[in-house]
Amino acid sequence: MRPPKTASWVRDIPSYKPGKAKEEIAKKYGIENPIKLASNENPLGPSPAALRAIDDYKSIVNLYPDTTSKELRTRAASFFKCKKEQIIAGNGSDEIIDLVCRAYIEPGNNVIIPECTFSYYSIASKACGASVTYAPMKDGLGIDIDSIVSGVNAQTKIVFLANPNNPTGLYLDFDSLSRLLELLPDQVLVLLDEAYGLFSRAGDFKSGLEFIGKDKRILVITTLSKSHGLAGLRVGFGIGDYSIIDSLNRIKPPFNVNILAQRAGIAALGDTLFLEKTLDTVWNGLDFLYSGLKSLGLEFLPSQTNFVLVKIGKNAKSVYNELLRQGIITRYMESYGLKEYIRISVGLPEENRTLINTMRRILV
């Protein structure tokens, strides 16, 4: 018997390629404790307040969680300075991306995605039958507003924009973001992914939350994965006009954010000391990596995130593989069309030093 056929637009979607796990590298190369600098995770671990909340509530995981995540959204509204009715909570920001695609895309519609950005935008869009227009990047891998706008047609429903952008670490200033919104037609929803927004040190970076309540076409998504160390629990938010949130609530699964994720998220959002320590660790780590990379004669993009994109050259893959053999996991960027680059997440100070010293030995 033959298996049932999937929808025609699903069959050609490439699967998402995650970074390598520490366990995989430990087993393959006999490394006792590999250093993982591949997936932009929080090097400090989870928020201590979140861990205490998990311990306090672990005995009631036999119960269904609040289907509306009301307390979590209330705390998030205070953190993001909006109203809880303007927020939907999700099983990570990836689920919010899925919900947006399901709510707004019909087969044959079009979406616009920058050529070099988070790959899941394309996967989620194609899963709903959309065609994808990839907007070319500016010289230097910056997002090009004009190329995005020129790709819009009558079938365009969504523009995806990560700001700051993954994997480049670059960002759009507030004036450029405002200009994009002015140029886009009314039927286009802008999904603005600010997963790394809290890490920005740029004076002219402003959150798209500035537009909430003023522009009904924008949905800001964010996550507690990086800034608050909850990547394994999957806590994300979509923040936008009431009409967008209502549409997403109509199709979200009933209990999409589990009870421990909700309680950990509530606690983490109130853990200001942990967030301050995270930002300090990341910013100092970036400065250290910049200095080390310059000493090695390597080019890199100035980052507004918790990672840095480094141009190694034609031997990038061999350098990446040698780092693996030495027990250091980075991310080779071939799947993004960047065969000469690796992406390095900021680690703890000793991990950053080990990385630079190891690269020095490899490159000499």
Element (H, E) at 135: strand 131-135
Please give the distance of CA 103 from its chain centroid, rounded to a whole number.
21
DSSP 82: S
Strand 328-329 relative to strand 189-193, pairing: unpaired
Q: Which CATH number fits domain 22-45+273-363: 3.40.50.1980, 1.10.10.10, 3.90.1150.10, 3.10.20.30?
A: 3.90.1150.10
**Rg, Å, the chain Cα set:** 21
pLDDT at residue 3 in the model: 80
CA angle 45, 16, 251 (to 5 degrees): 85
Cβ atoms < 10 Å from Cβ of 167: 26
Which tokens in the block code for residue 255?
Answer: 């209990």
pLDDT at residue 204 in the model: 95
Which residues of the chain does CATH 3.90.1150.10 include? 22-45+273-363
Strand 110-114 relative to strand 341-345, pairing: unpaired
pLDDT at residue 8 in the model: 77
Written out in words, the top-level CATH class of the domain with range 48-270 is alpha beta
Q: What is the mean pLDDT of each run of 10 residues along the chain (364 residues)?
A: 79 75 76 91 98 98 97 98 97 98 96 96 96 94 96 97 98 96 96 98 96 95 98 98 97 97 98 98 98 98 98 97 95 95 98 98 90
Which residues of the chain does CATH 3.40.640.10 include? 48-270
Query: What does the alpha-carbon distance between residue 126 and residue 199 come to, in Å, rounded to a whole number?
Result: 30
